[in-house]
Amino acid sequence: MSYMKAQFWSFDIMFAIVVFLVAITILTYVWLTMSSQFSASYTNGINLMQLQLQRLGTGLLLQGSPPNWNSLVNLSNTSGWINVSVGFGSGNASLSAQKILTFDAMSNTNYQEAKTPLGIGYDYYILLNASGFGLAIGRNPSGNNAYAIQAMTEPVILNGAPANLTIELWTNTTFGIT
């Protein structure tokens, strides 16, 4: 009789080992699949952010559309902002202080709506530094738990003096699996 118990016990152990190995195999497959999907999604998100940053950097150095967009902006009517494209250029290889200050006012009035004339979907932080002058527009990623940041700095001319324009696009959410 003890011989029968040993046989049942060995079949039970073999069955349990098979079930355990199948479960581990399935778990490993799911883990690797999800990991590769997340990696691909993160890479796609970073690539999109870099593309938007490059377009924004180029666009801010131009005049914008229409070239006198800053005189057309009504701060109390954000729905009209979709009719402009923001650019800080003055047309003579330098930046327009009036355009920069107009966009700063737009950003302070309605940060979310100010993304539309920039043509971006991410959060932004724009820094303009010249000797004796500094201006920050947008939300600082370091104070908002940024998950991913892409930045670029361009040398510019402001009021006839050299300056640096730093643009940061950032998000505080994961890119997730789409």
**3-state SS, one letter per residue, for 33-102:** HHHHHHHHHHHHHHHHHHHHHHHHHHHHHCCEECCCHHHHCCCCCHHHHHHCEECCECCCCCECHHHHHH
The model carries a pTM of 0.73
Cα 135 to the center of its chain, rounded Å: 21
Q: From first to last of its 178 residues, what are the pLDDT tens digits of the chain? A: 455 554 556 777 888 888 999 999 888 888 877 766 666 556 677 888 899 999 999 999 999 999 999 999 999 999 889 999 999 998 777 999 999 999 999 999 999 999 999 999 899 999 999 888 899 999 999 989 888 899 999 999 998 899 999 999 999 887 644 3
Instruction: Say how far apart CA 51 and CA 14 lie, in whole Å.
Output: 55
From the CB of residue 151, how many other CB atoms can be counted at a distance below 10 Å? 14
CB 114 within 8 A of CB 81: yes
Strands 123-130 and 161-171, by their bridges, are antiparallel
